[in-house]
Chain A
Amino acid sequence: MELLLILVIGLLYAGGVYLILRRSMVKLLLGIMLLGNATNILIFLLGKITKAKPPVIDESYKIFQDIYADPIPQALILTAIVISFGLTSFAIVLLKRVYALVDSDDLDDLNTPEEEDL
């Protein structure tokens, strides 16, 4: 399981970096999304995966010595997913707007001189 996740993370990071280095705005966005997801899986992996041990402790235990799944990484990932959802939706709208104005998907075309406006 760990090995599989490590491979997936590596693949996502590699793909994300490759896409970010392209000149297309859409690929830039996809690259950023891939990197974000890779990071989320990385948090999941580093929280040490435990199978079928929910972090719910029975009332009868005074001290809990059994291993249990760490709930914090999942809370962190949930937060990170929500944040990246917000950022991504903003980015999509922004890029769509820029595409409508510039009529190009190439990042090198984004060099309009400053207009005189307040």
Chain B
Amino acid sequence: MIDNHILGPVFIHLFTAIIQLICWRKTVTQRFLSVGGSLLGLLLAFRLFSRVEENGILTMNAANWDAPFGIVFVADLLSVTLVLLTSIAGFAVSIFSSVGLSRQRMLYGYFPIFHFLIMGLNGAFLTGDIFNLYVFFEVIIIASFVLMTLGGRKAQLEGAVKYMAMNILASTFFLTGIAILYGITGTLNMADLAIKIQAVQNKTLIGITSCFFIIGFGIKSAVFPLYYWLPSSYHTPPSAVAATFGGLLTKVGIYALLRVFSLIFIPDDFTRTLLMVMAVFTIVTGGFGALIKTNVRRLFSYLIVCHIGFMIGGIALFSQVALMGTVFYLIHDIMVKTNMFLIAGVIRQLRGTLDMNKLGGLYKDYPKISLLIALVLFSLVGIPPLSGFWPKILLFQEAFTQQQYFFVIALIIGSFVTMYVIANMWAQVFWKNTPEGVTIDDRFKPMQLYRKLLMILPIAILAAATLYIGLNAERVVHVAEQISNELMDTTPYINAVLGTNR
């Protein structure tokens, strides 16, 4: 079904960014515009989600060029779910950054760039053309480069060099893959590629091409052995930026892997083994990295890597149940990881440091905030009624069915390490008394009440979303099941894009 409203979530952020550019240096106006634009984007995303859930896949042909010749935008359930989650996370981060960011950064265009980033994310989720996906990836990385370097501290710029080099390299790999794919099939439309690639005789060439995509998306989603840029750069930008990065940027890589490896390249045994090895090592190395970190944000960075492994493992298992687990974990992970970095931002406001050796006594001073944070930490660990628990069951179940015992062991190690790390962090930051001789630099207490509320509100919103995912798991499982069905059987997608009489 053709529907021009698909691009709403993309355009709303584009226009917000442009209007904000006109209001250059008027930070108060920009703040209101940012929160307003994000709210509007969230409403549009909700509407799009409910339409797609009711009517099935929607498409839009740019400039009325019929697919496969023009650029096509496709809103299937996976895309709109991710657009919805991005909008929720973007809304929360935009509220948080209106109070949690220094004025200096806002003066140099934080808000417009932030909205360009969200625009790129929404576009990447919605496009049905592989070269257009590349273009949106570039929109994302150039916006993220600016956000990462904004402020210009030494540590920040050094992190940005590593981040930049690896991400440009990833784009080059991705582009090379697209070039070879175009050379083989002569099309760029993903649905059309799915058909044409089946007719190709030279399967080895297809396998090699798929490796370019694995490397390109692997760097973006930070899997072993390509993840080293992430822990060495994500702890440097301000927390609001780190929240967007940690929650959303790596997940675009997972989305692209899910899309490309379900639609274009159907994983064969070699690809699945490769992905499985990557997943196991990602979980183990990410988890062990988190064990030895004393800086809260560095610790969270390693946990991102660790949990990316769960999702890659689900793709490697490649069955309906496993993909259901992956999609569910993706939904849970975006909400929780964004929230984690916002929490790190609040902890820094409360104590002026993120070093666990210097932190302590937060529970005594701020019991209510601590309980809210505890809820999020519990769901990250995966305590049963909360959101992290359900996808792990699905992944465990499928790993046992397919007798992938290394993955089972990795899942157990990953879960236990996460639990240990988070428990340790809770004890160090919240329960233990403030170490002697440490002066507390509390920037939170002297704030006006509305600023305090605006700082806690986004965490509460995301925690509520997490709670919803956990307690209303039946509905989320239902959505995840539909998505995994769409991923396993791509005929509806292809028919929606190319029409049935092709």
Chain A residues within 8 Å of B, Cβ to Cβ? 20, 25, 28, 32, 35-36, 39, 42-43, 45-48, 70, 72-73, 76, 79-80, 83, 86-87, 90-91, 94-95, 97-98, 101-102, 107, 110-118
B255 to chain A, nearest CB (A): 20
Please measure, in the bound complex, the distance between the C-alpha atom of A65 and the C-alpha atom of B352, giving whole angstroms: 72
Asked if B182 and A39 sit within 8 Å, CB to CB, the answer is: no
Asked if B153 and A32 sit within 8 Å, CB to CB, the answer is: no
Give the residues from 309 to 356 in chain B that come closer than 8 angstroms, CB to CB, to chain A: 348-349, 352-354
Please measure, in the bound complex, the distance between the C-alpha atom of A28 and the C-alpha atom of B192, giving whole angstroms: 37
B226 at interface by CB-CB < 8 Å: no
Asked if A118 and B238 sit within 8 Å, CB to CB, the answer is: yes
B181 and chain A: residue at smallest CB distance: A46
Given A20-B169, A79-B135, A86-B142, A110–B353 Cβ distance below 8 Å?
no
Asked if B145 and A28 sit within 8 Å, CB to CB, the answer is: no
A29 to chain B, nearest CB (A): 8
Asked if B182 and A94 sit within 8 Å, CB to CB, the answer is: no
Contact of B182 among A43, A91, A102, A111 (CB under 8 A): A43
Given A98-B158, A110-B162, A36–B172 Cβ distance below 8 Å?
yes
B220 to chain A, nearest CB (A): 15
Please measure, in the bound complex, the distance between the C-alpha atom of A73 and the C-alpha atom of B186, giving whole angstroms: 10
Asked if A35 and B155 sit within 8 Å, CB to CB, the answer is: no
Q: Which residues of A contact B169 (CB under 8 A)?
A: 20, 32, 35
Given A79-B135, A87-B138, A114–B157 Cβ distance below 8 Å?
no
Give the residues from 168 to 188 in chain B that come closer than 8 angstroms, CB to CB, to chain A: 168-169, 172, 175-176, 178-180, 182-183, 186, 188
B295 at interface by CB-CB < 8 Å: yes
A10 to chain B, nearest CB (A): 13
Q: Which residues of A contact B186 (CB under 8 A)?
A: 70
A33 to chain B, nearest CB (A): 9
Given A76-B131, A94-B145, A94-B161, A115–B153 Cβ distance below 8 Å?
yes
B165 at interface by CB-CB < 8 Å: yes
Please measure, in the bound complex, the distance between the C-alpha atom of A20 and the C-alpha atom of B145, giving whole angstroms: 19
* Most chain B C-beta atoms within 10 Å of own C-beta, residue among A32, A35, A36, A114: A114
Q: What are 24 A-B residue pairs whose CB atoms fall within 8 Å in the complex?
A: A20-B165, A32-B165, A32-B169, A39-B172, A39-B179, A42-B176, A42-B180, A46-B183, A47-B182, A73-B182, A76-B131, A76-B182, A83-B135, A87-B168, A90-B146, A91-B168, A110-B162, A114-B295, A115-B153, A115-B154, A115-B155, A116-B352, A118-B100, A118-B102
B288 to chain A, nearest CB (A): 20
Q: Which residues of B contact A73 (CB under 8 A)?
A: 182
Asked if B161 and A98 sit within 8 Å, CB to CB, the answer is: yes
Contact of A42 among B138, B179, B238 (CB under 8 A): B179
Please measure, in the bound complex, the distance between the C-alpha atom of A13 and the C-alpha atom of B398, giving whole angstroms: 41
Contact of A112 among B158, B165, B349 (CB under 8 A): B158
B232 to chain A, nearest CB (A): 8
Asked if B180 and A80 sit within 8 Å, CB to CB, the answer is: no
Asked if A72 and B165 sit within 8 Å, CB to CB, the answer is: no
Contact of A90 among B145, B175, B295 (CB under 8 A): B145
The count of residues in chain B whose C-beta lies closer than 8 Å to any C-beta of chain A is 44
A65 to chain B, nearest CB (A): 17
B152 at interface by CB-CB < 8 Å: yes
Asked if B135 and A101 sit within 8 Å, CB to CB, the answer is: no
B79 at interface by CB-CB < 8 Å: no
Q: Which residues of B contact A117 (CB under 8 A)?
A: 153
Asked if A113 and B182 sit within 8 Å, CB to CB, the answer is: no
B160 at interface by CB-CB < 8 Å: yes
Please measure, in the bound complex, the distance between the C-alpha atom of A22 and the C-alpha atom of B168, giving whole angstroms: 17
Query: Which 7 A-B pairs give the minimum distances between C-beta atoms?
Result: A46-B183, A110-B158, A43-B179, A83-B138, A42-B179, A112-B155, A98-B157
B174 and chain A: residue at smallest CB distance: A39
Please measure, in the bound complex, the distance between the C-alpha atom of A47 and the C-alpha atom of B152, giving whole angstroms: 42
Please measure, in the bound complex, the distance between the C-alpha atom of A102 and the C-alpha atom of B158, giving whole angstroms: 9
B388 to chain A, nearest CB (A): 28
Asked if B353 and A116 sit within 8 Å, CB to CB, the answer is: yes
Given A39-B176, A73-B182, A118-B348, A94–B160 Cβ distance below 8 Å?
yes
Q: Which residues of A contact B131 (CB under 8 A)?
A: 76, 79
B483 to chain A, nearest CB (A): 30
Contact of A28 among B141, B165, B183, B235 (CB under 8 A): B165
Please measure, in the bound complex, the distance between the C-alpha atom of A114 and the C-alpha atom of B155, giving whole angstroms: 6
Asked if A94 and B238 sit within 8 Å, CB to CB, the answer is: no
Given A83-B138, A86-B142, A101–B157 Cβ distance below 8 Å?
yes
Asked if B152 and A97 sit within 8 Å, CB to CB, the answer is: yes
B197 at interface by CB-CB < 8 Å: no
Q: Which residues of B contact A113 (CB under 8 A)?
A: 155
Please measure, in the bound complex, the distance between the C-alpha atom of A46 and the C-alpha atom of B149, giving whole angstroms: 37
B460 to chain A, nearest CB (A): 21
B239-259 near A? 1/0 per residue, CB < 8 Å: 100000000000000000000
B314 to chain A, nearest CB (A): 31
* Most chain B C-beta atoms within 10 Å of own C-beta, residue among A47, A102, A118: A118
Please measure, in the bound complex, the distance between the C-alpha atom of A1 and the C-alpha atom of B349, giving whole angstroms: 63
B164 at interface by CB-CB < 8 Å: yes
B112-123 near A? 1/0 per residue, CB < 8 Å: 000000000000
Please measure, in the bound complex, the distance between the C-alpha atom of A114 and the C-alpha atom of B234, giving whole angstroms: 11
B236 at interface by CB-CB < 8 Å: yes
Please measure, in the bound complex, the distance between the C-alpha atom of A74 and the C-alpha atom of B232, giving whole angstroms: 37
Q: Which residues of A contact B238 (CB under 8 A)?
A: 118
Please measure, in the bound complex, the distance between the C-alpha atom of A117 and the C-alpha atom of B297, giving whole angstroms: 13
B100 and chain A: residue at smallest CB distance: A118
A35-B169, A101-B154 known, 9 other contacts, Cβ within 8 Å: A20-B165, A43-B178, A45-B183, A72-B188, A83-B135, A113-B155, A114-B236, A114-B295, A118-B100
